[in-house]
Amino acid sequence: MKETGSQAAPPSCFKQSSLPPTNEFKNGMKIEACDPRNLTSISIATVVGMQGPRLRLRLDGSDNKNDFWRLVDSSDLHPVGYCERIGELLHPPLGFRMNASSWPIFLQKTLNGAEIAPEKCFKMEPPSPHSNDFKVGMKLEAVDRKNPQLICPATVGAVSNDQIYITFDGWRGAFDYWCRFDSRDIFPVGWCAKSGHPLQPPGQKGTSQYKLNKVIKHRPMVLNLPAPGAPSSSQVTTHGQTSTTPATSPGGGGQ
């Protein structure tokens, strides 16, 4: 950051608590979790790994190819018994390995004798910032959604309404993505160090200054941006320039 004279996005931009939550879970514990592939349904999940305050989760009855990561203060996580309390049913995960009719028995068996995560493990989700206060060029730490166990140094590449474009420092763009300003996948600079989560080193494909020179001076970055989730006819600001015609395709550039 010193070398490039860059600014960190202020912690108030993020939906993260100023003090990272403590992780009181243990591997093997059972919880209830929203199925990431079927957001309206809640299933039983097992903690199969952790890094700092992040849990690696596997839905019971699904395969080991669909693990996902959540913060211990995620609103997607609940103690066993939550569904019953709110008058909902626990659902088999999308891609349940068995016949749907065997779900009630499977559920009973998977919870029998299992270690149930106690209530105190679940932390309150922090409040959302009221507005998108990110500016192009600000530094942050962000989950690499293609390798979701990783948190990497990143820069805000563009801002569009409620969305920001995450670009990974030292990588050519294959990992970049749009997200909402209140995403739980983005963190202020220093969050990993504070929370005990490993932070990946930046890539080797040139610094962001290199990127700035190459991409912005010679080829306006706006041409390389995929549109954010719901693009509408919104304005996209990239590195100080404003355009009303966001491009729709990242266009090649694998690494």
Q: Site residues (CB under 6 A) for ligand MLZ?
A: 144, 147, 150, 152, 168, 171, 175
Shortest Cβ distance from residue 197 to ligand MLZ (Å)?
A: 15
Shortest Cβ distance from residue 67 to ligand MLZ (Å)?
A: 16
Shortest Cβ distance from residue 74 to ligand MLZ (Å)?
A: 22
DSSP annotation of 213 reads I
Residue with smaller CB distance to ligand MLZ, 6 or 149: 149
Report which residue's Cβ sits closest to ligand MLZ.
Answer: 168
CB 137 within 8 A of CB 239: yes
- The alpha-carbon radius of gyration of the chain (Å, integer) is 20
Shortest Cβ distance from residue 138 to ligand MLZ (Å)?
A: 17
CB 225 within 8 A of CB 144: no
Nearest to 122 by CA among 184, 84, 79: 79
Residue with smaller CB distance to ligand MLZ, 17 or 51: 51
Residue 193 neighbours by CB under 8 Å, 6+ apart? 199
Give the pair of three-digit tokens for residue 95.
């891609």
- Going by DSSP bridges, is the β-strand pair 139-143/186-187 parallel, antiparallel, or unpaired? antiparallel
Residue with smaller CB distance to ligand MLZ, 10 or 203: 203
Q: Which residue has the tokens 């390798």?
A: 147
Residue with smaller CB distance to ligand MLZ, 173 or 188: 173
Shortest Cβ distance from residue 140 to ligand MLZ (Å)?
A: 13
Residue with smaller CB distance to ligand MLZ, 46 or 155: 155
